[in-house]
Amino acid sequence: MTEFHAMPDGRRVAYRLTRGADAASPAIVFLPGYMSDMAGSKATALFDWAQAHGRTCLLLDYSGCGQSSGDFADGTLSRWRDDVLALIEATIEGPVLLVGSSMGGWLMLLVALALDGKLAGMVGIASAPDFSDWGYDDAQKAQLEAGESVYEDNPYGPEPTPTHAAFWADAQAHRLLHAPIPLTCPATLLHGQADREVLWDKSMKLGEMLASESVVIQLTKDGDHRLSRPNDIARLLAAVDAMLPAA
């Protein structure tokens, strides 16, 4: 069942929550990618697995996405980070295991840095930190700096994918890969070597910059960006399960 959390400015953030038997066990929080939502295949598979195994799992739609209110054009990493933190504060008392896909992998890091003692671990799927820096050419960056939106071909649908100037400017202020990232929790980074949207060297760089001494990077040679085939989903669930104490 979808529920809604009211933000201070009146926005309503849609979420789904299943509670496990052990409140002390980390709650799984899934962070979808850019223009994605909690109805995606990875989110749904993770939620169903959590229900079947008595684990707590939180899914949400960022403001302006899916069933949440707001305009997508107003979305930024800062706003979506605050959505996630508000939902965690409202629904989860114990530790948190963050799972982030693509842009959600960047957001995962920003949320993790704000969680402090509640962070139990992270699982990144084709994580894309700093894509505002390396994901656009000079002409596109000039457009964005001038306050214009950039539209690109969408490999997953007929409508072009927009990047709005406000999102890009905010994202540039949240770049992380230029310095050590002070996160010491266990982390598993999953990436496909056939990913044409986020090259797998981004996960290698992220693993290098994390302060944690417990970082596992799993590469799938024929894996694409989505990593949503049955074997990819099984690998994700195994990575999440390995982060959790025995039920």
Strand partners, 218: 190
The one catalytic residue among 25, 63, 68, 102: 102
Indicate the average pLDDT of the chain.
Answer: 96
* Residue 226 covered by a domain: yes
pLDDT of residue 221: 98
* Amino acid sitting at position 87: L
Tell me if 15 sits within 8 A of 87, measured CB to CB.
Answer: yes
The one catalytic residue among 82, 83, 195, 232: 195
pLDDT of residue 247: 72
pLDDT of residue 232: 98
Number of domains in the chain: 1
* Residue 124 covered by a domain: yes
* Residue 247 covered by a domain: no
pLDDT of residue 20: 95
pLDDT tens digits along 116-156: 789 999 999 999 999 999 999 999 999 999 999 999 988 87
The one catalytic residue among 132, 164, 225, 232: 225
* Residue 54 covered by a domain: yes
Largest CA distance in the chain: 53
Chain centroid, CA 218 distance in Å: 17
* Residue 172 covered by a domain: yes
Range of 126's domain? 2-242
Phi and psi at residue 105, to the nearest 5°: -70, -35
Query: Is the whole-model pTM more than 0.95?
Result: yes
Specify the CATH number for the domain of residue 54. Answer: 3.40.50.1820
| For range 52-70, the mean pLDDT | 97
Catalytic residue check, 102? yes
* Residue 72 covered by a domain: yes
pLDDT tens digits along 223-246: 999 999 999 999 999 999 999 998
pLDDT of residue 78: 98
Kindly report the CA angle at 104 between 57 and 27, in degrees rounded to 5?
20
Sequence-ordered list of residues with C-beta below 8 angstroms from that of 190, at least 6 positions apart, any chain: 123, 124, 125, 126, 203, 218, 220, 227, 232, 235, 236, 239
Helices (H), 35-154: 41-52, 77-91, 103-115, 131-134, 138-145
Catalytic residue check, 116? no
pLDDT tens digits along 146-165: 999 999 988 877 889 999 99
Residue 204 has pLDDT above 90, yes or no: yes
Residue 177 has pLDDT above 80, yes or no: yes
